[in-house]
Amino acid sequence: KHCHDIINQGYGTKGYSAHDHIAKGYNWRLPSIQAAIGCTQIKKLKELVRKRREKARIYIDALQDYVEIHQIPDECSSSYYSFLIMLPQKVIRDKLMSYLKENGIETKLWIPVHRYPPYLDYGPFPNAEYIHDHHLRLPIHNLLSENEISFVAETIVDGLKKFHWMSWIGQVSNY
C-alpha cells in the first residue's frame, strides 16, 4: 500500500482531482507513449502558452473592475496553468463559488500543502492561509472559447451584483 501511495504522488482515494494528499509522493512514471506525446507537445509549447495568455487576458479585461486579479510580478511571466481571482471574504468566495456552480460553472480551490497529513507538522503559513481563504480558481484551458470565458466573467459580475457585493471592490489586500 505504501508503495502505491508514493508512486501515485501521495494522492488518497479521492485522487488527483481532489488533490487529496495522504502521503509524501512522487511521479516517476513516464511510459514510452507519454514520452512520445510529450516530445510532440513540447514543439507546440510556445503556441499553447500564447493561447492560454490570450484567454487570461479576456478574463483580466472583463473582471479587473470587479474582483482582484492574482498579480503576476512584472519580472515574471505566467503560462496561466490556472487563473485566480481574489475575494475579500471567505463567505463571499464560497457563495460566489456556489452561484457559479448553480450556473454550470465549475471552479476549484487550492488547498495549502501544509494542510495535508504528510505536512501537518510544518507551518504556520499565514500567506498560504490568506490566499486559500480568499481565492477562486476559474476555468481556463486551451479549448475554452472566448464566448465561454465571457459567460464565466459575466456570471461572476451578475453574482456580485445579485448579492450586493460590489461595494468591496479594491478591498482585498495584496497578499
Is the bond preceding 118 in cis, omega lying within 30 degrees of 0? Answer: no
Distance CA(98)–CA(88), nearest Å, equals: 16
> Which among 22, 2, 19, 18 has a CA at the least distance from the CA of 10?
22
CA dihedral 25, 121, 137, 76 (to 10 degrees): -80
Of these ranges, 4-13, 133-142, 160-169, the one predicted with the greatest mean pLDDT is: 133-142
Nearest-angstrom CA–CA distance, 73 and 84: 14
| Ramachandran angles phi, psi of 99, nearest 5° | -60, -45
Is a pLDDT exceeding 60 seen at residue 87?
Answer: yes
- pLDDT of 79 above 50: yes
Helix axes 146-162 and 90-102, enclosed angle (nearest 10): 130
152 or 29, greater pLDDT: 152
> Above pLDDT 90, what percent of the chain?
58
Specify the 3-state DSSP secondary structure of 35: helix
How would residue 175 be classed by pLDDT, with cut points 50, 70 and 90? very low
* Length of the chain, in residues: 175
Q: Cell for 55?
A: 484567454
Residue 58: which residues within 8 A CB-CB, separation 6 or more? 146, 149, 150, 153
Q: Determine if the pTM surpasses 0.95.
A: no
Contacting residues for 100 by C-beta, under 8 A, at least 6 apart: 106, 107, 152, 155, 156, 159
